[in-house]
Amino acid sequence: MLVQRDNSRQSHDERVQELVLENAKLQERLDATQKQLTEAESDTRFMLRHNKRLESELRKMKKHMQKTKRAKKVREEKTHSEGSVSTSDGSDQACDVNRSLLCLRYYP
C-alpha cells in the first residue's frame, strides 16, 4: 500500500510539474500577445493622428483651391468685361476695345 501511495504521489507530482510548465508556456504566449496588442494600439493611435493631420491638410487645400477658382473666375469676368478675348488654348489676350474703335473711326 505504501508503494501504491508513492506511485500515486509521484504521478501527482509529475502532473503538477507538467501543469506548471504548461502554465509557464501559456504565460509567455500571453505576454507576447499583450506586447503585440500594445504595439498595435500604439500604431493605431499614430495612424489616427496622422489621418487627422492629412484630413486637415486636405481641407486647407480644398479651401485654397476654392479661393483660387473664385479669384480666377473674378479675374476672367473682369478681363472679359474690359474687352479681353479668350483664345482657343484658354489663355486671355488683352484687347483694348477703345483703341480698336478709334482705329475703325480713323481707318474705315
pLDDT at 93: 46
pLDDT tier for residue 100 given thresholds of 50, 70 and 90: low
CA–chain centroid gap for 4, Å, is 70
Q: What is the model's pTM?
A: 0.48
For 65-84, write each residue's pLDDT tens digit.
999 999 888 888 887 776 54
What CA–CA distance (Å, rounded) separates 50 from 53?
A: 5
Give the Å distances, CA to CA, from 97 to 44, 67, 93: 63, 29, 12
Q: Which of 3, 26, 6, 2 is nearest to 14 (CA)?
A: 6
Contacts of 79 (CB under 8 A, 6+ apart): 92, 94
pLDDT at 33: 98
> Degrees (nearest 5) of the Cα angle 13, 17, 22?
145
Nine cell digits for residue 90: 484658354
For 2-51, write each residue's pLDDT tens digit.
556 667 888 899 999 999 999 999 999 999 999 999 999 999 999 999 99
Q: Where are the domains of the chain?
A: 2-83+92-106
